[in-house]
Structures are given as C-alpha cells and as structure tokens.
Structure 1
Amino acid sequence: MKGRHWTEEEDRLLADTVLRHVREGGNQLNAFEEVAQKVNRTPGACGFRWNAVIRKKEADAFHKAKQERIAKQLRRKQNSTLSLKDVIRHLREFESEYRMAWDRVSELEQELAEKKKRLREAEAEHRRLTEEWKAFENFQHEIEDRYTSLLRLFRTARRWEEQGVDAQQEPLDASVEKPEYKPIGSDAGSEKEANS
C-alpha cells in the first residue's frame, strides 16, 4: 500500500472523523485509528495526511470544532479554565500526533535514501557501459586499420609478383608504392587470360 494516493473520499472521511472526535472531546489518535481501519492504511499515514494536507484545508472547521469542545467542557464544569487532567490529556494527544508525524517523516527519508542509492547504481552502470562501448569502438577502429594495412600490403605483393619483382630485393612496404585499386577477382581474371 506504500505510495498509494489519497482519494477525495478518503480525505473527506478523515476530515469528518477527526472533526467529530475533536467536537466530542475525543483524541485525534483514536480518529486516525478509526479511519485507518476503513481505508486500509496505518494510523501514522492518516496522521501525517491530516497534519500535512487536510488540516490546512479544514482550518476553520477545525478551529470551530475545538471551540465547540471547549464550550461543552465549560458548560459541563461550569468554569472558564481547563483542569490539570485536561491539560495533561491534550499534551499526551499532541505528543502522540508528533510521534506519528515523526515516524512518517523517517519513513519518507528512508524511501528517499533508497531511491538515491538506486539512482547512483544506475548512473554507475551507465558509465560502465559507456566505457565498454568506447573501448569496443576503439578496438573496432584498430581492427579496421590493421585490415586496411594488410590488404594494401597484399595488393602490393601481388603487383610485384605480376611485374616479376623479387621481394627479397625490394622492401615490402605499403608506403613505398600505393598500388591502384583492383576489384576483387580482377587478379584472377588476369591470370586466367595470361595462362590462356
């Protein structure tokens, strides 16, 4: 399920559930757990989605829900201050939300590190293949040069043989004389005519 996008219906369900829990004096952690079971996600993912995206969109509704909760508490207790028990409960709620958000951030950092590692491996593989391809091209050019030189020497030797030149007396160097180009098979044709 990692990486699955949130739908509008899931966002609406999460917003309504959290606002309901806030109005009724419940814990946001309980709201995240309730939504997590319905949308097949973790409570941490629900908490991160709420704090990172939905809470900004539902700022007015969230503020109003908190006011309604406080009003209910005031009416029930008939005083204008929260008890120490309420303060502790709010602090624990904030701590739970912070812990879930931090866990989600840690997961995202781990995913980012893994993707960076795969990217570095892919770049290294690309460099290796590029170097191998360049080495192959250099080898291919070297083979072509050697083949060209060998073919030139072979044609020079054939030309001297036809002219009756002694290879022991003349250096067999392609640079001394560049024989004219003859199509493949032309030498054989000349020998056949000479023999006839």
Structure 2
Amino acid sequence: MKGRCWTEEEDRLLAETVLRSVREGGHQLRAFEEVAEKIDRSPGACGFRWNAVVRKKEAEAFREAKKERVAKQLKNKRESSFSLKEVIHQLKEFEAEYRSTRAHLTELKRELDEKKRKLGDAEAEHHRLTKEWKAFENFQSEIKDRYTSLLRLFQTARDLELTKGDSEKNTTDAEYAPDGSQAQSEREVES
C-alpha cells in the first residue's frame, strides 16, 4: 500500500508505542515492528515516519521518556549490582541511536541538496522557455505588422488599378461620338 497517507490515529499509536518502549528500556526497532503489525505497514515505514514527523512533534515527551528510562535503569542498577559492563552496554546503545539519527540526517541533507539542484534546473529551464516565448511573441507581432502592411499595399494597388481603369474608360468613351459612331481621331482629322 505504498503512498498511503498516515492518519492521526496511526501517528498517535506510533508515538505511544515508541515512548512506552523507550520508558521501559526497550528498543525503538521493536516498537516499530509492533506498530507495523497493527497498522499493516513495514517496520521501515514506521521508523521513517517516527524520525521524519512524529519524533519532532513528540520531542519533549521523547526526552522525558529517555530520562525516565535512565532513571529507572539507574534505580534498578542501584538495587542490583551496578557494573561497568552494563554502563558500557548502555553507552553503546546510545551511540547506535546517535549514529542512526546522524545517518538519517545525512540522507535528508542529500535529498534536500538533490531537490535544490532540480529546482535550479527547473528555474533555468523556465527562464529559457520564457525567453523563447518572448522571442516568439515578438516574431508573431512582426509577422502581423508585415501582413497588415502587405494588405495595405494590395489595397493601394487595387485602388490605383481601379482609378487607372476609370481614366482609361473615360478616354475610351471620348473616342466615340454621341450617336454611337466612332469619332475620328485627331490624327485622322489632321491627315
């Protein structure tokens, strides 16, 4: 069910389960597995959701849960024998959690850098296309202007042709006598 949105109930269940596990000294991975079984998601998806969203919302509760865990462990250690081996084990767990968080942050930074690069590419492409569009608009405007000029030129030529045709008609009409017989031209009269 890839791409399914997380509901508030799923986030709340994830937060409660992880915080309870931390308070009781358990591992977050076990909490992720427990939640994954209940909501039909993978433990990896639960871990990612915890680190990316829910942990930020529950930052104070998470710190308190860790404090409670440490206090409870210290109390139990005092009641039992407090050994250097157990302290080292606890420090190793803290170190593993730190490395996991650091690796996750490194991955998020890498994704952010990639998205910034893609954004820069998209902005450059947008700029290029905007420039091409403006050039096209200018070209289109120039074509319209030339077309308009050409139409005016054709109209002027047509008007001149009509004017020339009218003057030729008047000249031709003058060569005929009013009774319809052909009038003699000046050259014929002179000869």
TM-score normalised to structure 2 length? 0.66
- Counterpart residue type for residue 54 of structure 2: W
Q: In 2, Cα distance between the equivalents of 1:23 and 1:159? A: 105
Partner of 1:184: none
Counterpart position of 1:49: 53
Give unpaired runs (5+ residues) of structure 1: 166-196
Match of 1:26 in 2: 26
Q: Is residue 19–residue 62 contact of structure 1 (8 Å, CA) maintained in 2? A: yes
2:58 aligns to what SS in structure 1?
helix
Q: Secondary structure at the match of 1:83?
A: helix
> Identity across aligned pairs (percent)?
28
Partner residue, 1:68: 68
Q: CA deviation at 1:131?
A: 2.0
Q: Contact 1:48 / 1:104 at 8 angstroms: preserved in 2?
A: no
Cα deviation per residue 1:111-152 (whole Å; 9 max; x = unaligned)? 343344334434433432332132112112101112202211
Residue 88 of structure 2 is matched in structure 1 by 84
> Do the aligned partners of residues 150 and 119 (structure 1) sit closer, same or farther apart at CA in structure 2, a change above 3 Å counting?
same
Cross-structure match for 2:164? 160
For residue 16 of structure 1, report the CA deviation from its aligned partner: 0.9
Offset from partner CA, 1:36-89 (integer Å, 9 cap, x none): 6644536334312234x3233xx1x32332232123312332159971221122
- 1:5-154, aligned counterparts within 5 Å? 6-32=6-32, 34-35=34-35, 38=39, 39=41, 41=45, 43-51=47-55, 53-56=56-59, 59=60, 61-78=61-78, 79=82, 83-154=87-158
CA distance in structure 2 between the partners assigned to 1:33 and 1:97 by the alignment:
18
Q: 1:125 to 1:32 in 2, by over 3 A?
A: farther
Comparing 129-138 and 110-119, the one that deviates more: 110-119
- Measure the CA separation in 2 of the matches of 1:34 and 1:122: 47
Q: Mind listing any 5+ residue stretches in structure 2 that lack a counterpart?
A: 170-191
Which structure has the greater CA radius of gyration?
2
TM score, norm. by length of structure 1: 0.65
Q: How many residues align?
A: 160
Residues 10, 114 of structure 1: CA spacing in aligned structure 2 closer, same or farther, 3 A cutoff? farther
Q: Distance in 1 between matches of 2:121 and 2:155?
A: 51
Which amino acid counterpart does residue 25 of structure 2 have in structure 1? G
> What residue identity is the alignment partner of 1:85?
H
Q: CA RMSD in A?
A: 3.1
1:95 Cα shift?
A: 1.1
Q: 1:63 to 1:99 in 2, by over 3 A?
A: same
Structure 1 range deviating more: 106-115 or 153-162: 106-115
| Greater fraction of residues in helix | 2
Counterpart AA for 2:26: G
Q: Name the CA distance, whole Å, in 1 between partners of 2:115 and 2:6.
A: 18
Q: For residue 15 of structure 1, report the CA deviation from its aligned partner.
A: 1.2
Comparing 125-134 with 18-27, greater Cα deviation is found at 125-134
